[in-house]
Amino acid sequence: METSSPALEAVWRDLRPHLEWAQGFALVFLFAGHPQPVEFLRRRLEESLQLRTLRLTVLAPSAPAELPRAVEQILATRPDPGRGPLWVELWRGTDEEGWPTARRQALHRLNERRTLLERDVGLAMVLILPLAERGRVYVEAPDLWAVRCFTAELPAPGAPVKVSEIGRAEEFSSAVGVPPGGVELEWARLLERTTDHTRLDLRDGFAAFEAALDRGDLTAARATAYQTLDLSREHLQTTGDTPQALRDLSIALDNAGQVERDLGNLEVARSAYRESLELCRRLREALGDTPQALRDLSISLDNVGQVEGDLGNPEAARSAYRESLELRRRLRVALGDTPQALRDLSISLDNVGGVERDLGILEAARTAHRESLELCRRLREAVGDTPQALRDLSVSLDNVGRVERDLGNLEAARSAYRESLELRRRLREALGDTPQALRDLSVSLDNVGRVERDLGNLEVARTAYRESLELRRRLARTFPDQPRYQQELAFTEARLRDVAGN
CATH number (domain holding residue 379)? 1.25.40.10
Q: Per-residue pLDDT tens for 168-196? A: 322 333 343 467 878 888 898 888 888 88
Q: Which of 166, 16, 169 is nearest to 484 (CA)?
A: 169
Q: Which of 255, 212, 263, 258 is nearest to 232 (CA)?
A: 255
Residues 367 and 482 grouped into a single domain: no
Residues 10 and 99 grouped into a single domain: yes
pLDDT band for position 160 (cuts 50, 70, 90): very low
Q: Per-residue pLDDT tens for 390-403? A: 999 999 999 999 99
pLDDT band for position 288 (cuts 50, 70, 90): very high
**Which residues constitute the domain of residue 361?**
337-428
Q: 170 lies in a domain?
A: no
pLDDT band for position 4 (cuts 50, 70, 90): low
Residues 412 and 447 grouped into a single domain: no
Residues 424 and 437 grouped into a single domain: no
Mean pLDDT computed over 64-83: 90
Q: Per-residue pLDDT tens for 130-142? A: 988 887 787 788 8
pLDDT of residue 440: 93
Q: 243 lies in a domain?
A: no
Residues 447 and 389 grouped into a single domain: no
**CATH number of the CATH domain containing 487:** 1.20.58.80
pLDDT of residue 463: 94
Neighbour count for residue 80 (Cβ, 10 Å): 7
Query: Among 5-19, 95-109, 294-308, 451-465, whose mean pLDDT is lowest?
Result: 5-19
When mean pLDDT is compared over 92-96, 210-214, 314-318, 494-498, the highest value belongs to 314-318
Q: 110 lies in a domain?
A: yes
Q: 61 lies in a domain?
A: yes
Residues 494 and 366 grouped into a single domain: no
Q: 490 lies in a domain?
A: yes
pLDDT of residue 481: 67
CB-based contacts of 450: which residues, under 8 Å, 6+ apart? 405, 461, 495
- Taking CA atoms, 355 is separated from 149, 298, 408, in Å, by 29, 16, 19
Residues 358 and 490 grouped into a single domain: no
Q: 329 lies in a domain?
A: no
Alpha-carbon distance 390 to 388, whole Å? 5
Mean pLDDT (the chain) is 87
pLDDT of residue 252: 95
pLDDT of residue 158: 58
Q: 182 lies in a domain?
A: no
Residues 142 and 22 grouped into a single domain: yes
Residues 437 and 415 grouped into a single domain: no
Final residue of a structural domain among 131, 165, 199: 165
Q: How many domains does the chain have?
A: 3
Q: 468 lies in a domain?
A: yes
Residues 477 and 348 grouped into a single domain: no
Residues 15 and 132 grouped into a single domain: yes
Q: Per-residue pLDDT tens for 95-108? A: 667 898 999 999 99
Neighbour count for residue 248 (Cβ, 10 Å): 25
CB distance 25 to 122 below 8 Å: yes
Alpha-carbon distance 445 to 443, whole Å? 5
Final residue of a structural domain among 369, 402, 428: 428
Residues 160 and 24 grouped into a single domain: yes
pLDDT of residue 168: 31
Helix, strand, coil shares, percent, the chain, to 5: 70, 5, 20
**CATH number of the CATH domain containing 79:** 3.40.50.300
Final residue of a structural domain among 395, 428, 461: 428
Mean pLDDT computed over 301-312: 94
3-class DSSP string for 54-102:
CEEEEECCCCHHHHHHHHHHHHHCCCCCCEEEEEEECCCCCCCCCHHHH
Alpha-carbon distance 158 to 400, whole Å? 56
